[in-house]
Chains A and B, each alone.
Chain A
């Protein structure tokens, strides 16, 4: 039974390693990024849905837009406040929010989502392709 000191030392090292990440990150929860609003959006004041709803459900809205446009050919979206929008990702969402990197991506990076939409849909600020 004279291995006691080795066992204690082993436990100390073990807990030091296991708990290191907790200690290292203590009190440093990544702060949620601030939402950046373009001047166009500020001037428009409202989104295509009420704020709470667009924040939670914009992905469902986009799916709805996508299906209605591609399959039913209805290309006018009448919002809850009777404003009319063209249901388009590049033209409408980015037309108002303007900068995908500052608006969509900043929040998506924080939430760790990366929609594949931009493989096809165009971000006008990122047109470094097409030079061939």
Chain B
């Protein structure tokens, strides 16, 4: 035999490598198949409402009492299967009412104008441009959608750690301490409920925008709530902002809320 020990070892090594490479390549090929199935694709519906930056303007001049806010809160909680838990610690709210001094604590003068002092303010998730909840979330369950700036939750990823609740300066997030299902008076089948152990909040009706409908609260507000693209100078909301003096909640924190109030 002419072959040196050195060349024998080289060939043996290459052979071993070849034998090992085949199963690894097979596994890779199989996992590629799993991930992106070639059959079927996803598109944004033709009717979907889109924007670069969704924003809301709430004209509080059109409200007089809590009764005016009730239908707005009710419709939101109904279409999203929000349970009605009356124990304060367990309460779940997507949109609710708040006194001026709690909604705008840095704008509270000693002698408030009487109308504002007694008026209930409608508050909800502000869909901030710099959302602190998103930075706090360890699983990326909550995220700011790049396409339109809506701060959303992927309920499937929420592990219930509640860091987002600690991070949110507006108290816009609620935690399901109990199974919410027994407390939903009338279940809407179009939207899933949540389960014990996850956080939830307003989603700017992402599921309605996707099929060409305005958010439910805007729809029933008789024009008191305007919703539109903040980045479009011709939009309703920009028009309102141009014509009226508006305030936002806790602006000094730098979160840049997308919900504006005409007072």
- Chain A: residues with CB nearer than 8 A to chain B? 48-50, 53, 57, 60-61, 64, 66-68, 70-80, 87, 89-91, 119-122, 124, 127, 129-132
Contact = CB atoms under 8 A, between A and B. Distances in A.
B190 A91 contact: yes
B187 A122 contact: yes
Interface string B184-209: 11110110111100000000001100
Given A73-B147, A127-B187, A130-B187, A120 B195 contact: yes
A61 B195 contact: no
Contact of B37 (A64, A73, A130): A64
B193 A77 contact: no
Nearest to B190: A91
Interface in B39-98: 39-45, 48
Contact of A49 (B40, B145, B210, B211): B40
Given A60-B37, A120-B193, A130-B187, A75 B182 contact: no
A69 B224 CA distance: 30
B186 A48 contact: no
Given A71-B154, A75-B211, A130 B182 contact: yes
Contacts, number: 92
B181 interface: yes
A130 B184 contact: yes
A92 to B, nearest CB: 11
A61 B184 CA distance: 30
Interface of B: 34, 37, 39-45, 48, 143, 145, 147-148, 152, 154-156, 181-187, 189-190, 192-195, 206-207, 210-211
Contacts of B41: 77-78
B42 A121 contact: no
A49 B182 contact: no
- In this complex, the member of A49, A74, A77, A89 whose beta carbon has the largest number of chain B beta carbons within 10 angstroms is A74
Contacts of B206: 73
Contacts of B154: 67, 70-71
A68 B42 CA distance: 8
A57 to B, nearest CB: 7
Contacts of A71: 143, 145, 152, 154
A79 B192 CA distance: 23
A80 B192 contact: no
A70 B156 contact: yes
24 contacts: A48-B40, A53-B37, A57-B37, A61-B40, A64-B37, A66-B156, A73-B147, A73-B210, A74-B42, A74-B43, A75-B45, A77-B42, A78-B40, A89-B192, A91-B189, A91-B190, A120-B155, A120-B194, A129-B181, A129-B187, A130-B181, A130-B182, A130-B184, A132-B185
